[in-house]
A = this chain, B = another copy of it.
Amino acid sequence: MREDHVETNVRAIIKAEVRKSRKTGEKKAASKGQQTRAAVVEEALRIASAEGLAAVTIGRLASELKMSKSGLFAHFRSKEALELETVALARTVFAAQVLIPAEATQPGLENLWNLCHFWLEHIEERVFRGAYFFAGAFFERARQGGAVGREIRRAVRECRDALQSAVKEAQKRKQLDREADAKQIAFDLNGLLLGVYWAHLMGQWGALGQARDKVLERLRVLATEEVPAKALRSVRAFRRYLKGKHA
């Protein structure tokens, strides 16, 4: 049941992405070949996010998709090409679930909060089967040269950059202490999210539930008098405050 839900999620995101790219001018329908290719990459991500990128092989895909190995080779000439597209799809899914919706909210503090909030939500909703795709892939491959390692680092950097820009914008808007090091704050928030996720995977009860309180705790120390003290009292109050500012 859980897995169905997850796959539906990814599929819905991919469909939305496809719709978007159609809207932006690419009117012609996907060819049979493109459809097959997309289905293969989707299956590859399904395997990779549960068992690791190394588990994605032409042989495994052929057996899962009931295709011939030679048919698959026609689409992907090398294991690297297949891995690259798998990472690219994971990046798209992550962007659609976390980065893009956060960016659509008010710049500064609200954007920063929502980056953390949507990141946590994408864990809670288990958008990727298994664990957070980029945590496993990153810790495993970050040291590697080559196109795949580069692509993984790029995806992870996008997330860090988004956090860092949001902090800088919040400083510019005088919501957060301008003396504080934006890079350091982004790095701390990222560490906090990773730690929470780790505790959650370890089965620590309440780890995800307390995560937003912990994010707020960090922001409380950095907030200026621009943000009323009572807004920082609880996650609920903070959300109400953000909503009010936006209205």
Contacts and interface: CB of A to CB of B under 8 A. Distances in A.
A143 B54 CA distance: 17
Contact of A51 (B54, B192, B199, B207): B54
Interface in A204-235: 204, 207
Nearest to A143: B130
Contact of A191 (B130, B135, B160, B196): B196
Contacts of A143: 50, 130-131, 201
A118 interface: no
B130 A160 contact: no
A81 interface: no
Given A52-B54, A53-B52, A139-B132, A195 B198 contact: no
A188 interface: yes
A202 B140 contact: no
A190 B201 contact: no
A199 B153 CA distance: 11
Q: In which size bucket is the chain A interface?
A: 35 or more
A138 to B, nearest CB: 7
A156 interface: yes
A136 interface: yes
A18 B73 CA distance: 46
Contact of A54 (B53, B153, B191, B194): B53
A195 B201 contact: no
Given A54-B53, A139-B132, A195 B188 contact: yes
A192 to B, nearest CB: 6
22 contacts: A51-B144, A52-B136, A52-B141, A53-B54, A130-B144, A131-B140, A131-B142, A136-B136, A136-B141, A138-B198, A139-B139, A139-B198, A140-B140, A142-B202, A143-B201, A187-B195, A187-B204, A190-B195, A191-B191, A191-B192, A191-B198, A194-B198
Given A187-B199, A190-B198, A191-B198, 14 more contacts: A51-B54, A51-B141, A52-B141, A53-B54, A130-B144, A131-B140, A131-B141, A131-B142, A136-B140, A138-B198, A140-B140, A143-B201, A156-B202, A194-B198
